[in-house]
Structure 1
Amino acid sequence: MNNNTPNEPLKETRTRDEIHEDLSGQTKLVTDQGLTADSYSVSDPWINSNRLTEEEEEELSGILVEYDMKKEEIVPGMRAFQRKVSFRKNLIYTAVLAVLTVLYFQAVIKKPDYTIGMVLGGLCLLVILMIWYMPVRHINNTVKAVEMDHMTYRLEISEVGFLILEDSGKYLVRFSTPTVSVIELPVCFTVCVSREKVFIIPKRCIRPEDMDEIRRRMQQGLGDRYVVQEK
């Protein structure tokens, strides 16, 4: 038996974020905005997002930020991103290869004519060098590419996430997505939207009157996935 009166509206029990998630179309966004991880680390060159309807675009409009990037922002921003997504992995690889190197060279000391051991030990050292050199090279190449393009990027920060502005419309990357996090640095916000894509938003491009509100929205939406680093 229905206890509701005929004219009584049903009470909405879902959160605003859940309502928008039901309404919006899930899509994998491939965008020219943002920076990518090292080419050998990239597996999925897209961002999980929601394509907003016209009604949602009006309701979810956020604080607009138009920005470009300079070397002094890209370098610390990319370093913070790399430390988050690949530092631990690289450290493990280095430890394993270092052990193998020691074992091979110990074998060579005991048996000087063990040529294969010397070659394999040398290869392990070379791989260790490449593990730590390639991220540095990638940052340098990224800086050169950005400085050559002279592009201006646009996004909005809403109450529920980042709005990526594309010619085809707005795409919402939600704060509630587990892979989304922010590292606040002295010169920029490093917005990690996946292990493959990062947005570096320079603080100089944010209006002073918007800074506190943008910071509040990200802190509130991300919780412990919002981290402040002094260096």
Structure 2
Amino acid sequence: MPPGIRQPPPPWRLVLLLAGVAAYAAAVYWTSRRPSELTVLLAAFPFVWFAGVGAGQALDARQGPSRRTVALLPLVLVLAVLGLSWNHLLANFRLLYLVDHVGVHAGLCWLFGRSLLPARTPLCTEMAGWVHEDMSCPRLLWYTRQVTLVWAVFFGGIASASIMVYAVCAPATWTLFSALLCPLLTGAVFLIENAARSLFLPPKDRVGLTGTWQAVRARLDAQAVARTSGDPQ
């Protein structure tokens, strides 16, 4: 292990996460070809999950009543829409999947892209700081900025391509693209970027897949602590 980089533990959570993503993608593809109420439940799951994460803040007793109400509101609205529009969603489940798919990738594009604005720290540079003791290397700063740009462009391209495929191709083609091809493309870009580090970075500044996963977890954990303590991040 090069000096200056902390040794991360085995990425068991990453393995479980990837297995879960693969299982969800397979379930989406299978149920889309055999529409049922399960199809709508799977399509609605990301909306409920994200709203539920926000609603979790309402459980913190340190939050004031108004902030707890605001935190609960998205979950209440999502559940209300599902309840009132269930039959309509069952007849138009692919549109729900489209909003889900485009929304997630557009959101990721925005997340990476906004960090490239002046006076901001590129997201990949910020994540690299969690595993590198020394971030003063200009090459490392340049590389992490370029990787941030690559991910922003990639996620923006996926969101745009999803809309185009949905508009001009058969429903089965869009389902194949969104549920199976997109996860494979994302994994391929991640592996290519990991391999590219050996070309652009010196050995002391290279972090493998495990280290990258630890960086993401550390950042999310820090943000969660900051939210519950009321400190800005």
Q: Same fold (TM over 0.5)?
A: no
Structure with bigger strand share is 1
Q: Which has the larger radius of gyration?
A: 1
Q: TM-score range by the shorter chain?
A: under 0.3
